[in-house]
Structure 1
Amino acid sequence: MESGPAIPAGAEQLTATWIQDALAAGGVADVPAIESIAVEQVGAGVGHVGESVRCRLTYAEDAPGAPATVFVKLHSSHPSTDKLARRVRLYRRECAYYRLLSRRAPIRSPILYYGDYDRRSNRLALVLEDLDGMERVDEIDGASAAQARCAVRAIARFHASSWNRIHEPPYSDIFNSLDPKWRPPVQIIYLMSLRRTFEVFGDHFSGDMRRVTETLGWKAADYMGDLAVGPRSFGHGDYRLDNMFFGPGAGDLAVIDWQVCGGNNPLGDVAYFLGGSLPTELRRSMEREAVAEYREELCRAGVEDFSGEEAWRLYRQNMLVRLLVLVVSAGGLDISNERSVRLLGLGIDRTLAAIEDLGSEEYLPARRRLFGPSWAFSEVSRCAYAGSKRLRRS
């Protein structure tokens, strides 16, 4: 892409000239002069780490081949959200995915017209295809069985394309969530997020589930290490209904919001989707079948030596990933609007039910070698969290 316009500070700085320059820099040919744009805010909910708007374009002349609308995604102006995005490279990842991988990936995402990320300021600007003509399903309502099967098959094909190859470009050029260097920071962020999670959503946790949630806090790094033992693939990371668009044909699915993408345990996306985007009763009735179908789709795409038993074990183990992400979201993202609070609370309910149903507590790591580095970090984390609780009570 050519050098483009400066990244705007917010959507209020978007103009017809900026869109025109961005499209030109992105190589979109034969676009006549844009006279004006109408900007509409979209994207309220949990996990929207940024500002998202739809721009309706008015051209100076007929433009049958030019986009009538574009979707523009910018960085967040919310301080805590921006801080979290910088810490775990959310904007950098998403821009890299669209630039390096989206066009070759076996899962549809919006066409990238223009993308820019500035590392120093942590500012992002993406001009994307508008998928407004496709169907969206409210995550609060939950997916149907047919939609769930469609999503599971699609992510299986996506995972198969990078199966045990995340060390190769372009995957290695984007992000590797399994890199050991990320384990301590994630554990620290999780622990820092527990207080706000319990303050806002404490009534969603039973005594047992509160204990599991706290225990994961000082074992998160070891848990992430356990996930790294086994198959690896490049995953979406936030694979849920709010990030999906369904077309009229069977299997017609497009997925947005690639900020958390990276190399990971492949069953993480499956557990994340089934554990949060389905009503609990539907998840209970079809999850075994869905995991089996996921494995079958992998095999059809060429994956070998991956049994149904291993797929089910990894699904159960990865359900704790949902809990980890929900706590970090509650602690670090802007959840000031009503839908965010409702969606996050419902996600916690669905996730805790899945953890109990599946016995995923079994996969909390056992105590590591006494006085080893892993044991020491876990003990320091546990004591620090216990100390902060005592201080708040005093």
Structure 2
Amino acid sequence: MIHKQKVIPKRTKRITAEWLNEVLHDSGYLKDFTIESISREPCGVGEGFVSDMARLTITYDKEAPGLPKTMIVKMPTTFRTALAVALQYNLYEKEIRFYTEVAPKSPIRVPGLIYSDYDSEVKKYILILEDCSCYKMIDQVEGLTYEQTKQAIISIADFQARWWDAPDLFSFDWIPKPKDEFLRTSFIDTFRNSWDLAVKSEEFLEMLPEGGREVGEEIYKQFPWLLDNVPEENLTIVHFDYRADNMFFDYENSENPLITIDWGGALVSGGILDVAYLLGSSIKIDLRRKIEKEMLNLYLKRLEENGITGIDFDYLWEYYLRSLMVYAWLPPVSFTQLDRSDPRAIELGKAFHNRLFGAILDNDATSILPS
């Protein structure tokens, strides 16, 4: 439930024990306990590119075995260009509403929701979630292992199958739909403006593999075609940022070990988008080359086990190649508009740019573009 009762703090550092105690009592989360004090530490630096994130450590007035000792709070970033991107695509409101409206109906693990609120008019948003740091988080620069990649494929297939051409798929008016004109225009303009600026930088060009600039130029020309040729069926909710940094692994839960975070980019489209981004960003190139088609077959098999049939591998492969090229918009955007002051963010960018364009080149993806 979204609670609109109290003034939302402007920054994570302005959250006080008094404010937190009041809103959690009013929401019903706290009942017989009182928060006496909190401490905070920044988290997600170099990872939560469009969010200001902090871990709150909570001291209660008495022993509270059923309540969390820590919580994660997410609020809009203070970095102006990243904030502009997030507001342009309504990422903050979408993530809050995903947790309140979609997650409860979905077979996927997400952090437990503790509190949320937003005021779109004054652009204030707050999301307080379960702290998942007790679980295993993978360094995306190091990449997922074979087994972790398999689990990620299974998890997203199960989630997408729930929404695959479902009667209630289009019931969320805040989730962008295929051929949304605002989204289409924004993607094209953002990609082209960012690409034009990025290719002037030797630093950006050095992040691309040999031949990367050339295929980028081809995609640049045909990007409207890629966005316009979305199928009318086989649609589902996609995460659209499905990568290792947005995953935690709970190895004590053998049936459903993967917890997925950062749902602000969710949209309705072809499910293969998430698979393409995962394989093109979150595993090392040599491993991706070995298991790429195996993972697509696993995805198909898992969909079939969930009752989604009639999709052949050739169809899936073509849309996999298209999806890899759709994500070519992200490297120049992240390079030109997001905060690259953190060394880890730079390393992540290098790995992502090289892996994604490497997958496009390895599979000769641009060969399916119209001449």
- Give the TM bin, normalised by the shorter chain: over 0.9
Separation (CA, whole Å) in 2 of partners of 1:165 and 1:179: 19
* Deviation of the 1:147 alpha carbon: 0.3
- Counterpart in the other structure of 1:212: 215
1:36 matched to 2:37: yes
- Counterpart in the other structure of 2:229: 226
CA distance change for structure 1 residues 344 and 98 in 2, over 3 Å: closer, same or farther? Answer: same
* Deviation of the 1:242 alpha carbon: 0.3
- Counterpart in the other structure of 2:316: 311
Instruction: Return the TM-score normalized by structure 1.
Output: 0.88
- Counterpart in the other structure of 1:54: 55
Contact 2:209 2:358 in 1 (8 A): no
Separation (CA, whole Å) in 1 of partners of 2:304 and 2:99: 27
- Counterpart in the other structure of 1:377: none
Partner residue of 1:270 out of 275, 279, 298: 275
- Counterpart in the other structure of 1:237: 240
Which piece of structure 1 moves more, 235-244 or 19-28? 19-28
Q: Give the unaligned 5+ runs of structure 1.
A: 368-394
Q: Give the unaligned 5+ runs of structure 2.
A: none
Separation (CA, whole Å) in 2 of partners of 1:171 and 1:286: 35
Separation (CA, whole Å) in 1 of partners of 2:281 and 2:207: 15
Separation (CA, whole Å) in 2 of partners of 1:7 and 1:80: 22
- Counterpart in the other structure of 2:7: 6
CA distance change for structure 1 residues 34 and 17 in 2, over 3 Å: closer, same or farther? Answer: same
Q: Secondary structure at the match of 1:53?
A: strand
CA distance change for structure 1 residues 310 and 31 in 2, over 3 Å: closer, same or farther? Answer: farther
Alpha carbon RMSD of aligned pairs, Å?
A: 1.9
Separation (CA, whole Å) in 1 of partners of 2:170 and 2:26: 25
Contact 2:95 2:263 in 1 (8 A): yes
Which piece of structure 1 moves more, 312-321 or 271-280? 312-321
Amino acid in structure 2 at the alignment position of 1:359: D
Partner residue of 1:296 out of 280, 284, 301: 301
1:325 matched to 2:330: yes
* Deviation of the 1:25 alpha carbon: 3.9
Amino acid in structure 1 at the alignment position of 2:224: A
Instruction: Return the TM-score normalized by structure 2.
Output: 0.93
1:96-115, aligned counterparts within 5 Å?
Answer: 96-115=97-116
1:117 matched to 2:115: no
1:246 matched to 2:249: yes
* Deviation of the 1:57 alpha carbon: 0.1
CA distance change for structure 1 residues 123 and 219 in 2, over 3 Å: closer, same or farther? Answer: farther
Question: In the comparison of the two structures, how many residue pairs are matched?
Answer: 366
* Deviation of the 1:31 alpha carbon: 5.1
- Counterpart in the other structure of 2:129: 128
Q: Secondary structure at the match of 2:117?
A: strand
- Counterpart in the other structure of 1:359: 364
Contact 1:178 1:264 in 2 (8 A): no
1:90 matched to 2:91: yes
Contact 2:211 2:361 in 1 (8 A): no
Contact 1:271 1:319 in 2 (8 A): yes
Runs of 4+ in structure 1 off by over 6 angstroms are none
Q: Secondary structure at the match of 1:101?
A: helix
For each residue in 1:44-74, what CA deviation from the matched residue of structure 2 results, as whole angstroms up to 9, or x when unmatched? Answer: 2255211111101001111111111111000
* Deviation of the 1:123 alpha carbon: 2.1
Separation (CA, whole Å) in 1 of partners of 2:20 and 2:50: 22
Sequence identity of aligned pairs in percent? 28
Contact 2:47 2:245 in 1 (8 A): no
Contact 1:25 1:114 in 2 (8 A): no
Amino acid in structure 1 at the alignment position of 2:160: H
Which piece of structure 1 moves more, 320-329 or 57-66? 320-329
